[in-house]
Copies of this chain bind each other. A is one copy, B any other.
Amino acid sequence: MTTTASNTTAPTRLLRVENATYAYRRFGGGAGLPLLCLQHFMGTLDNWDPAVTDPLASGREVILFDNAGIGKSTGEVPTTVAGMAAHALAFLDGLGSARCDVLGFSLGGMVAQQMAQDRPAIFRRMILVGTAPRGGEDIMHLHKASLARHLADPSLDGYARLAKLFFTSGPSSQAAGQAFVGRLARRKEDLDPVSGQAVAAAQIAAFREWEQFSGEPFVDLRSIEQPALVVHGVHDEMIPISNSYRLVENLPNAVLLAYPDSGHGSLFQFHESFTRQASAFLASDSPFAPY
């Protein structure tokens, strides 16, 4: 059985484990460990930009994953990041994957951090984009004006709204947003169901829980010793870049790459740079994050 090495054409697969069925796609190959991709708020397999996934799939297998209750995966959407991490680990166990690399974007980056703490050997190298540590600030507060104006705008459909939310208002970033949604729209068949309000409510609950901490903030990050590449757009309104500052100040082995003129979707806006940097980072076998 072969797959096409693109998220535009890779078939959606189902993995049955004891209590659940997980939807996923896998494509590409090469010398590297598989790269597990963990998705953002309300995102499905169809929200992975092929301009990001496909170049990465030229050096390794890329595995896209729908957590419980998302897309064609069964079950309830967990209301905690820890619950989502448990599902992702069960999925990897079901695949027989004992060690991989990870790209966690936004909510997915929180899930990746939790997985690394729950099972330290699972990841070799971690890429954390547009995300926040436990105890981070201003995580997905959708009622604030800068976000609510797009969410409440009845003239925006799903993809047009994404271009407003993930990109800045500047002309260059908005043009990149249009190109991004055009790339997502290339996939015409075998689509995931779009996430609805029940998904949103559960994931928002998980964000609120993730903002809580007890004791000294960010000390839990010191136990994540994997080399990490942390990426953020400087004008991200959904999860501010200050959260990535706290990540690299407290993770013992993390490089920060911050992009100008960009918001939450910095990896999609600067996909050529991002995939070049991510590929160089993943290709390194150094115990140190700098690459």
- How far is A272 from B272 in the complex, measured between Cα atoms in Å? 22
Mark contacts of A51-62 with chain B using CB atoms, 8 A cut-off: 1 yes-contact digit, 0 otherwise: 000000000000
Contact A253 B259 (CB under 8 A): no
How many A residues are at the interface, by size bracket?
Answer: 20 to 34
User: Chain B: which residue is nearest A235 at the CB level?
Assistant: B249
* Chain B proximity of A232: nearest CB distance (Å): 9
- How far is A270 from B257 in the complex, measured between Cα atoms in Å? 15
Given known A234-B249, A248-B234, contact A257–B260 (CB-CB < 8 A) = no
Number of this chain's copies in the assembly equals 2
A273 within 8 A of B: yes
28 A-B pairs with CB atoms under 8 Å apart are A172-B288, A234-B248, A234-B249, A234-B256, A241-B245, A241-B249, A245-B245, A248-B258, A251-B260, A252-B260, A252-B261, A253-B260, A254-B260, A255-B257, A255-B258, A255-B259, A255-B260, A258-B258, A259-B290, A260-B288, A260-B289, A260-B290, A270-B288, A270-B290, A272-B290, A273-B290, A273-B291, A276-B291
Taking A172-B288, A257-B257 as given, write out 15 further A-B residue pairs in contact, using a Cβ cutoff of 8 Å, ordered by the A residue number: A234-B248, A234-B256, A245-B245, A252-B260, A253-B261, A254-B260, A255-B257, A255-B259, A255-B260, A256-B257, A260-B289, A260-B290, A270-B288, A270-B290, A272-B290
